Structure 1
Amino acid sequence: MARPPRLVEPMAGEPAATVDLGNETALLIADYHAGIEEGLRYERGVELPSNAEHRRQRLLALLSETNADRLVVLGDLGHYIGETEGVEREELDALYEAVVVNRGIEMTIAPGNHDGELAELFGDRDGVTILPASGGLLGEPPATLGVVHGHTWPNPELLSATTICMGHEHPQVKLEDSVGGYRVEQAWLRGRVDPAAMMEKDDSEPPGDAGDPPELVVFPAFNDRSGGTWVNVDGQGFLAPFLPAGIPDAECYLLDGTRLGPFRDV
């Protein structure tokens, strides 16, 4: 029997989505990259004023608009890959205070490749759940939600979910005009997974029932300073080890909901 559909509803004009988990509503985002300005200064010599307050207020506004009970971060909550300190730690501390302490909204984090020291900062704090790097399941069967960052192979158990949500790619599309100009916009990717392509070669047969495979939703980055993968440009390789093979027929959508069709044809 096919699984019932799981509603992952992107918010119009925002790199965020809501999910009904049955007993609570969750707001999902990916790639917050707290402290990115400090990182860009050291990594590339780029000087940008901090956008920490704007990022936090933007997220708080979305939490209020959706009346969310839980914030789910699909990895890369922080930006610096090593120890979390300095302005990044200050931004993360302020975010925790605003979301969990002041508003009573719990956080679930599927850690990403930039979150190596996150467990030391948040692991023992009330209201925060940190999942394994291979992801985890939220909600109750038969309509569970799989969440993972995407920088490693996902736990095969995620293939039993109705929908899998991930970050890491920061998907973008390059849109050209008739005179050679172009613009780049953030995008969503959504498509049914190829279960075999989602597993490491040494894994056994994918788990699950005889129903349809789960949908995979690749989130745009919440942080608009973090760059991304141009999914419709030849030579722009995907970052996740299971993409694009894991969603061969994925369709591309802009933040405003415009459907562009199969990402390979955009």
Structure 2
Amino acid sequence: MSDSLVEPVPGHPAAVAQTTRRGFPERSLVVADYHAGIESGLRYERGVELPSNAAVRRERLLSLLDRTEADRLVVLGDLGHRIGDPKGDEAGELRDLVAAVTDRAEMTLVPGNHDGGLTDFFDDCVEVTDRAGVRLGDVGFCHGHTWPARDVLAADVVCSAHEHPAVRLEDEVGGGRKERVWLRGSLAVEVFADHFDVDVSELEWHDPELVVFPAFNNTSGGTWVNVPGQGFLSPFLPDGLVDGEAYLLDGTRLGDYRNV
């Protein structure tokens, strides 16, 4: 992927974004779909017994914060897994995580569909944005379960999540494996103008690039973007993505995601 305002960290489902906060330039580490407490959630939802991976998740994230020397952590939604107020193991994981992160950097949460109970959970130590997203300088952020705000779309790059995008790759003998991927491409202005019921000329528009983040949590499922019949979850996808290409976590370009 070419140099831009948002650059993935090679080998990791995370990126560094050049952002601005209160008029000052910042270096932000951006991750999506952390799903703290997912193991206890799967136990309750599906009867699946998995040991907690909370400490490993936290150390992976803290290591990336240290490695990238980020001023801020931006979480593109679904920081927690439970839909509602966090309880038990999830609440404990969230408290430990936020304490460790905010000892190193500022923290911003763009709420996702799993974060309904987190608005007041962190007091003032985490900035929780509007659900339609936030713009930090030239980069806009949203979770993707709702339409982004017009101000977010006025950015040069729009970062989104929610899909947990992945591809199914097959070998010459028919074996297959799932790989998390990035999706990157141009946004279709007409789709968003139709949504807001305005003329294209009424939108502040800088031909933004869309970056759809892979899930940070490697236990969660996702949208297999190259498997027929797999529908997207975001209301603006796939119609809002003009020329989306898929990239593996190591940076390998796979080309048009529909033809992988």
TM-score (structure 2 length as normaliser)? 0.93
Deviations 1:59-110 (A, max 9, x none): 000000000000000000000001211111100100111011x22x111111
Equivalent of residue 21 in structure 1, options 1, 14, 19? 19
User: Which amino acid in structure 2 is aligned with residue 156 of structure 1?
Assistant: R
Aligned to 2:117: 117
- Give the Cα separation in 1 of the matches to 2:59 and 2:169: 30
Alignment of 1:91 onto 2:85? no
Aligned to 1:208: 204
- RMSD (Å), alpha carbons: 1.4
Alignment of 1:185 onto 2:179? yes
User: Which amino acid in structure 2 is aligned with residue 208 of structure 1?
Assistant: E
- Deviation at residue 7 of structure 1 after TM alignment: 1.9
Equivalent of residue 236 in structure 1, options 225, 230, 235? 230
Q: How many residues align?
A: 252
Deviations 1:150-200 (A, max 9, x none): 001111222210000011000000001222111110000000100222356
- Give the Cα separation in 2 of the matches to 1:109 and 1:199: 27
User: Which amino acid in structure 2 is aligned with residue 194 of structure 1?
Assistant: A
Deviations 1:85-138 (A, max 9, x none): 1111100100111011x22x111111000000110202x323x21111111100
User: Which amino acid in structure 2 is aligned with residue 133 of structure 1?
Assistant: R
Stretches of 4+ moved more than 4 A in 1? none
Give the 5 Å matches for 1:89-168: 89-100=91-102, 102-103=103-104, 105-122=105-122, 124-126=123-125, 128-139=126-137, 144-168=138-162
Alignment of 1:222 onto 2:216? yes
- Deviation at residue 6 of structure 1 after TM alignment: 4.3
User: Which amino acid in structure 1 is aligned with residue 62 of structure 2?
Assistant: L
Task: Note if contact 1:148-1:154 (Cα within 8 Å) is conserved in structure 2.
Answer: yes
Aligned to 1:255: 249
Which residues of structure 2 form unaligned runs of 5+? none
Going from structure 1 to structure 2, the CA distance change for 1:202 and 1:214 (only over 3 Å counts) comes to: closer
- Give the Cα separation in 1 of the matches to 2:61 and 2:211: 20
Q: Name the SS for the 1:146 alignment partner.
A: strand
Q: Name the SS for the 2:228 alignment partner.
A: coil
